[in-house]
Copies of this chain bind each other. A is one copy, B any other.
Amino acid sequence: MTDTPSTDLPPLPEFDLFAFTPYRLAVAAKRTSDELARQYRDRFGITIPEWRVMVHLAHSGKVSVRDIEARVAMEKYEVSRAAKRLREAGLIERRENPEDRRLVILALTPEGHALMARILPMARAHQAQIEERLGPAFAQLEAGLAKLLAETD
């Protein structure tokens, strides 16, 4: 037993990673978005950050990077790079804001609009499937998440 360095040391406190809320949330988040990410990538060629930007543009019209950053839980450099890729893919367009030339105006192109018309129903279906699979636990999850998100805001 002398070859195991821990043997003679005081025992460590018990700690169950599987009961650790940050871990549980990380695993849950990864599981739920991975399948989605794969679909978005394979079928539409976009990533999750790009998807978030697109969704925001879909219902907010023309906005700046700052608006998206504030609303969509992304750092502004993420928004900036997602927007760059989306622009190169022809899904959004970018103009200067004439009233404040530091700002940028992002908006869906017709191609981007068409893409969202295809993706959004899929996303709704995905959400419905989650709710169905969780059953009554869905409402509990929602209540818990609502409190957590409010507390950490």
Contact = CB atoms under 8 A, between A and B. Distances in A.
A21 B143 CA distance: 12
A43 interface: no
B140 A25 contact: no
Given A28-B29, A55-B17, A6 B148 contact: no
A32 to B, nearest CB: 4
A interface SS class: helix
B6 A61 contact: yes
17 contacts: A6-B108, A12-B58, A13-B120, A13-B121, A15-B58, A20-B123, A21-B127, A24-B145, A24-B149, A25-B25, A26-B48, A27-B73, A137-B143, A137-B146, A137-B148, A140-B140, A140-B147
Interface of A: 4-6, 9-10, 12-15, 17, 19-33, 36, 48, 52, 55-56, 58-59, 61-62, 72-73, 93, 107-110, 113-114, 116-117, 120-121, 123-124, 126-127, 130-131, 133-135, 137-138, 140-149, 151-152
